[in-house]
Every structure is written in structure tokens, then in C-alpha cells.
Amino acid sequence: MKHLIKILFAGTFLLAANTFAHHSFVAEFDSNKPIQLQGIVTKVEWTNPHVWIYLNVRNEETGEVVNWGAELGPPHGLQRRGWRRSTLSIGTPITVDGFLARNGSPRVNARSVTLTATGSSPGQTLDADSSIGSGQQ
């Protein structure tokens, strides 16, 4: 019985450590490298533990288009901040303010997402419920 308790305790500890590491902003993103991206939504993954938005961003100098991933907070956190599954759809022009990935990949941890103003509707800025904004550094 003692052996089983030790195994369960070790498994719980490892699972908790893995969960904490998964949510570490500092391990994945650099708060000293803010970036603003403007592009067109290509995909939205409304899943736990984080919502991801993908957008095509054109480099003004080279004309190259790169598909960036933006990590937001969890779905329930975004819903509390006014987001809905229907807030973004493919083809929506947006601006993402966030922080670059440490590994150099085209990924950011988003702080906010602004829907581009169109015609008579002004642009709306929504909090991305990101790790750095939630104090989970």
C-alpha cells in the first residue's frame, strides 16, 4: 500500500510540475521583445488550455507573407472579457500586440487583439487574457 501511495504522489507531483511549466510565459516568450502584427486571420483554435489565432502577416520590405501564431488565454477567460467563438472569422483583418517567442519562431503571446475598423464600425480592442497580463510570469 505504501508503494502505491508513493507512486500516486510522484505521479501527481510530475503532472503538476508539467502543468506549471506549460503555462510559463518566461520559458516561451520574451517580455523585452514586444511586437505589433497586422494581418488577416487564417485560423482560430478555440481550445483549452489556450486559444490560438493564426494570421498572415506581410513583411513591408520583402513582401513575404508569414503565418504567425498568437497565443491567447483560455476560452473561459476570454469569454469573461467579451470574446465569443464568433468574434473572429477567417479573413478578418486584425492587429495583435504581444511578445515574441524566445525560440525565434513566428509566434507571439498576445496582450490584445484589435479588430480593424471597417466603414462605419470602429475598431474594437479586446484583452487577450495572456499569461503576462494575468501575472503568471
- Please report, in tens digits, the pLDDT of each residue of the chain (137 residues total): 665 555 555 445 444 444 444 557 788 999 999 999 999 999 999 999 999 999 999 999 999 999 999 999 999 999 999 999 999 999 999 999 999 999 999 999 999 999 987 766 668 899 998 866 444 43
Question: H-helix or E-strand containing 3?
Answer: helix 2-22
Residue 137 lies in a domain: no
Report the amino acid identity of residue 9. F
CATH assignment of the domain containing 61: 2.40.50.140
Residue 80 lies in a domain: yes
Cα dihedral 101→92→122→98 (10° resolution):
0
Residue 133 lies in a domain: no
Range of the domain at 85: 2-127
Q: Which three cell numbers stand for residue 51?
A: 486559444
Say what the pLDDT of residue 116 is: 84
Residue 57 lies in a domain: yes
Residue 71 lies in a domain: yes
Cβ neighbours of 60 (radius 10 Å): 8
Say what the pLDDT of residue 7 is: 55
Give the C-alpha separation, 38 to 41, whole Å: 10
The most distant pair of C-alpha atoms in the chain lies apart, rounded to whole Å, by: 69
How many structural domains compose the chain?
1
Residue 114 lies in a domain: yes
pTM of the model: 0.76
Residue 134 lies in a domain: no
